[in-house]
A and B are shown apart, each in its own frame.
Chain A
Amino acid sequence: MYTQALDAPGAGLPPTQDEGELERHFQARVDAERKIEAKDWMPARYRATLIRQIAQHAHSEIVGMLPEGNWITRAPTLLRKCILIAKVQDEGGHGAYLYSAAETLGVSRAEMIDQLLAGKAKYSSIFNYPTPTWADVGAIGWLVDGAAIMNQIPLCRCSYGPYARAMVRICREESFHQRQGFEIMLRLAQGTAAQKRMAQDALDRWWWPALMMFGPPDAQSTHSGESQRWKIKRFSNDELRQKFVDFTVPQAQFLGLAVPDPALKWNEAQSRFEFGGIDWNEFEQVLRGNGPCNAERLAARREAHAQGAWVRAAASAYAEKQRVRAASRAA
């Protein structure tokens, strides 16, 4: 269940077992592909790793509403506006599923939101890039959601049950996001010369940041070994990045758009695309808060949170009044 508030009778650990024994038992269970659930014993580092990862994932969904939310009032048709609202609403829903999954590990929703608003929590670097044109909405759906799906499908088999179940729900919905984005790109690519230029410009700006979404190269990835042993992570950053390139380049070719990488070429022997080096300095800068829109994104979240304060207070006051009335009727 998605809860840390379950009233489970009985104390957790039998006092005779030592930590090492518990950890061996835990690892055997993970190795046997049996899911770990909220109330099961788990190593403290497994818990901490999951809280960090799931909370960052949830924050990414919430902040991810902003770049596209920019375009809701300016979508070119009523249908596109409806689709975009539905997509942004899905992202909010994904954030809610993920916060629930993180809460099962003993962190509160309020704590996570406070960390995000205080600028102490990380979220995906990709959402700190601007969306100046309508083609950006297409490029986000196609590339950003495409990269997210590549990352997220293996997470449906994550050893932690509540996270895995949230991911199943999310992946089911992401496919719509990617397809609607590709369709926007397709319409633009088949449109006027100016529309096609707009699509190419968006691809030029989103290609490299999308590749960075898979995280640092394997050689520098700090958490990978342990996460793979615990079956939180099933594939390495570089493996997933390669798969994304191999899937996406033919799609760009179909659109008649050029991938902005002069080093890109098909390697027949290895049956994969070779691609150029990624600017990891840019990635580091964006993660550290120095990307083009970091400050703007956080300011927008803080403003929305502050403006909703009176609604939350009113709902709490109403619930309390109803509770008191019901109690006095019962008395």
Chain B
Amino acid sequence: MDAEQADWPLFEVFVRARAGLDHKHVGSLHASDARMALDHARDLYTRREEGVSIWVVRSSEITASDPSEADAFFEPARDKVYRHPTFYDIPPEVKTL
């Protein structure tokens, strides 16, 4: 019906639930510009005080890793168990380590 009018750009929405927490991805929405995206994000994702801060970013600006190559992409970390503190055997009598 609106053949002349394509969808507005898609924005991804990130909400900080409380001071001290990270912004977390909550969903997406269409808006004509970033300011409208912020207003809509407030109405769509924080109707019950779910946030104290919102980021919006155009979806087309995000570069994502490829899920079909996830195994190879994350493989370098797989054999490095020595990066975890639990790898090291410490005698129980040694305290505060």
Contact A5 B59 (CB under 8 A): yes
Residue of A nearest to B60 (CB): A5
For residue B44, CB closer than 8 A to chain A, the reply is: yes
Q: How many residues of chain B get a CB closer than 8 Å to chain A's CBs?
A: 30
- Once A6-B59, A318-B33 are accepted as A-B contacts, the answer to whether A97 and B47 lie under 8 Å apart by CB is no
Interchain CB contact (< 8 A) of A96 among B32, B44, B66: B44
Taking a contact as CB atoms under 8 Å apart, the answer to whether A3 and B59 are in contact is yes
Known: A2-B12, A10-B69. A312 touches B5 (CB 8 A): yes
User: Nearest Cβ distance between residue B24 and chain A, in whole angstroms?
Assistant: 12
B27, A13: Cβ atoms closer than 8 Å: no
Given A7-B60, A9-B66; A109-B7 close (CB under 8 Å): yes
Residue pair B63, A318 in contact (C-beta under 8 Å): no
Check if A316 sits within 8 Å of B32, measured CB to CB.
Answer: yes
Residues on the B chain within 8 Å of A1, using CB: 12, 25, 28, 59, 62, 64
- Which chain A positions have C-beta within 8 A of B29? 96, 100
Mark B10-42 against chain A: 1 for CB-CB distance below 8 A, else 0: 101000000000000101111011001000000
- Pick the residue among B5, B25, B27, B59 that contacts A97 (CB under 8 A): B27
Chain B residues whose CB sits within 8 angstroms of the CB of A39 once the complex forms: 64, 66-68
Q: Flag the segment in A110-118, A152-160, A247-255 that touches B.
A: A110-118
Tell me whether A118 and B47 are in contact (CB under 8 A): no
B75 on interface, CB distance cutoff 8 Å: no
The answer to whether the Cβ of B94 comes within 8 Å of any Cβ in the partner chain is no
Complex interface: chain A residues within 8 A of B2 (CB): 110, 113-114, 305, 309, 312
Question: Closest residue to A117 on the B side, CB-wise?
Answer: B1
Question: Bound state CA distance, A108 and B10, in angstroms?
Answer: 11
Q: Looking across the interface, which residue of chain B has its beta carbon closest to that of A5?
A: B59
- Measured CB to CB, the closest approach of chain A to B9, in angstroms, equals 8
B81 within 8 A of A: no
With A3-B10, A6-B62 in contact, do A118 and B1 touch (Cβ < 8 Å)? yes
In the complex, the answer to whether B60 meets A316 with C-beta atoms within 8 Å is: no
A90 contacts chain B at the CB level, 8 A cutoff? yes
Q: Is A89 a contact partner of B8 (Cβ separation < 8 A)?
A: no
Contact with A along B41-60 (1 / 0, CB 8 A): 00110011000000000011
Contact A89 B47 (CB under 8 A): yes
Chain B residues near A3: list those with CB within 8 A. Answer: 10, 12, 28, 59, 62
**Does A269 reach chain B (CB closer than 8 Å)?**
no
A100 touches B59 (CB 8 A): no
Interface centre among A108, A110, A165 (most CB of B within 10 A): A110
Q: Which residues of A contact B65 (CB under 8 A)?
A: 8
A-B residue pairs, 7 tightest by C-beta: A2-B28, A315-B32, A319-B32, A319-B33, A5-B59, A3-B59, A10-B66
12 contacts between A and B (CB under 8 A): A8-B63, A9-B63, A39-B66, A89-B43, A90-B47, A100-B27, A103-B28, A109-B30, A305-B1, A309-B5, A312-B2, A316-B32
Which residues does B use to contact A, with CB under 8 Å?
1-2, 5-8, 10, 12, 25, 27-30, 32-33, 36, 43-44, 47-48, 59-60, 62-69
